[in-house]
């Protein structure tokens, strides 16, 4: 579960890689120099980009900048899903971005992607239609279609910026603490009683120093972060039609009332209402 550098190799004759990965049994916390556009269609899943952790419902379309650590979007999915990923080098068009005024908006989009960008609404629908159609085109047609997608995203206001600061891997490597070690601990222990003293020791800090550091990095306390991770996992289990009691114990809560209280605080509704909304009686 240590952070890994993915080596991206486009097919012969192409400047980008278009594929449909299936990695749901793997916790693949990784980074790569290439930009990445991810579309995933699933009942619910975890979105973990840089320091941002949340859940997505039904589908997600995210643009991730160069060297931004992220988790595979199909991690832990147990229901059927579809996923399309495009990876392209920073200079996939050479100096075209610098010398072609028509590409200015796309260039700015890539600059913003260092924060991680999630697209919604009509923008997502139109972009996904084009993504799906790309698979039937030749290499040149795919390139043109990809530019159309990026132009659409660049002009859209239906976008959520996932991180407030640059979270590229150079920041992680220049830091004395490897956040990947913290994420590894949370992933391995979220369904048990996590111990902030233990994780602080793991990254060689006093508990007080770790708490200050963690809040600076994530804008949350360690406890709040773990609880958000648990609720994201709980949503997935509820959508697999597990009952609320089983779900609570599976993600580390010792009572239904504790789960319900935190679920409502984080998700804005009770576990029961959430389940009724998405699962047909």
68 in the same domain as 112 = yes
pLDDT exceeds cutoff 80 at 170: no
Can you give the pTM of this predicted structure?
0.79
166 in any annotated domain: no
Structure confidence at residue 281 (pLDDT) = 42
pLDDT digits (tens, 9 = 90+) for 260-274: 999 999 888 999 998
202 lies in the same domain as 271: yes
What domain range includes position 131?
4-161
Regarding whether 254 and 180 lie in a shared domain, the answer is yes
Average model confidence (pLDDT) across the chain: 88
- ∠ CA 49-53-54, rounded to 5°: 120
Average pLDDT for residues 149-167, to the nearest whole number? 94
Q: How far apart are CA 114 and CA 92, in angstroms?
A: 17
Does residue 274 sit within a domain?
yes
Q: Is residue 167 one of the residues assigned to a domain?
A: no
| Alpha helices by DSSP H, the chain | 96-99, 104-112, 121-134, 139-155, 169-174, 179-189, 196-202, 207-218, 222-239, 244-250, 256-267, 271-278
* Residues 259 and 185 occupy one common structural domain: yes
Tokens representing 112 are 């913003």
Give tens-digit pLDDT for 10-21: 888 888 999 999
User: 3-state DSSP call for residue 125?
Assistant: helix
The reply to whether 19 and 146 lie within a common domain is: yes
Choose the most confident range, by mean pLDDT, from 167-181, 207-221, 247-261: 247-261
Number of domains comprising the chain:
2
Residue 107 and residue 80 share a domain: yes
């Amino acid at each position: 579960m240590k952070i890994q550098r993915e080596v991206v190799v486009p097919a012969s004759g192409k400047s980008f890689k278009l594929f449909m990965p299936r990695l749901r049994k793997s916790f693949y916390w990784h980074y790569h120099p290439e930009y990445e556009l991810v579309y995933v269609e699933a009942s619910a899943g975890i979105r973990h980009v840089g320091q941002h952790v949340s859940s997505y419902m039904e589908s997600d379309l995210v643009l991730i900048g160069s060297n931004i650590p992220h988790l595979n979007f199909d991690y832990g999915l147990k229901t059927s899903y579809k996923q399309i990923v495009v990876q392209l080098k920073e200079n996939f068009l050479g100096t075209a971005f610098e010398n072609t005024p028509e590409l200015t908006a796309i260039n700015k989009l890539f600059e913003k992607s260092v924060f991680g960008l999630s697209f919604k609404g009509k923008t997502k629908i139109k972009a996904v239609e084009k993504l799906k159609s790309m698979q039937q085109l030749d290499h040149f047609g795919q390139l043109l279609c990809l530019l159309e997608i990026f132009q659409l995203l660049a002009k859209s206001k239906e976008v959520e910026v996932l991180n407030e600061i640059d979270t590229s891997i150079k920041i992680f490597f220049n830091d004395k603490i490897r956040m990947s070690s913290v994420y590894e601990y949370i992933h391995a222990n979220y369904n048990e009683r996590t111990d902030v003293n233990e994780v602080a020791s793991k990254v060689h800090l006093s508990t007080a120093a770790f708490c200050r550091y963690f809040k600076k990095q994530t804008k949350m306390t360690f406890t709040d972060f773990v609880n958000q991770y648990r609720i994201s996992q709980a949503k997935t289990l509820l959508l697999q039609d597990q009952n609320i009691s089983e779900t609570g114990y599976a993600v580390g809560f010792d009572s239904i009332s504790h789960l319900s209280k935190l679920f409502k605080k984080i998700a804005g509704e009770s576990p029961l209402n959430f389940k009724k909304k998405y699962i047909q009686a």
